[in-house]
Amino acid sequence: MKYLIAGLGNFGDEYSQTRHNIGFMVLDALAKTSNTVFGTKRYGDVAQLKHKGRIYILLKPSTYMNLSGNAVAYWLKKEGIPIENLMVVVDDVALPLGTLRVRYKGSDGGHNGLKSIIEIMATQDFARLRFGIGNDFPKGYQVEHVLGKWTADELLALPERIAIAGEIVLSFGTIGIHRTMSLYNNK
């Protein structure tokens, strides 16, 4: 069985250590612990890993956040992966830092990457892992917070939460979305 795991972010040095790129960071950590590397392909950087008889295609779209749907649609079709085997890893400003929430469907929640995927795929019915980046910013400064660099304290908290996010991705493929939600939501 194949799974597409799309970690959302933006390419470029100016975005590399920003909160908006947590999807890239989760996939980078998962690839590193699995001894696999990303290669530049059409619409993004792609890596493949095997775990418990499953194949995970890790995708970091190069289309920029607002056009993520193009990359996701292309790789689902190219790999012959059904949409129920798609998980999207995204930042979520509505969740406290490091909070992880797994959902099997839902709205875009104001996230432009999810919005693009929903528009291109014409459905909200796909799994997503929302990674909380907090909302400790003054009113009117959401964009600066989301596109801002992690603070030193935030960077200390991230490795453990990123490792758990990687566990969630693998769990999605091995035991399914509903059991994964039961195991990991509210932890």
| pTM assigned to the model | 0.95
Q: Is the pLDDT of residue 98 over 80?
A: yes
Which CATH architecture fits 2-184?
3-Layer(aba) Sandwich (3.40)
Q: Which amino acid is at 108?
A: D
**Mean pLDDT rounded to a whole number for the chain:** 94
Which strand (E) or helix (H) includes residue 87? strand 86-92
Give catalytic residues, as residue numbers.
Answer: 20
Range scoring the smallest mean pLDDT among 43-57, 90-104, 113-127, 133-147 = 133-147
Using a pLDDT cut of 70, give the percent of the chain over it. 99
Domain ranges of the chain: 2-184
The more confident residue out of 44 and 139 is 44
Locate 33 and state its tokens: 């612990």
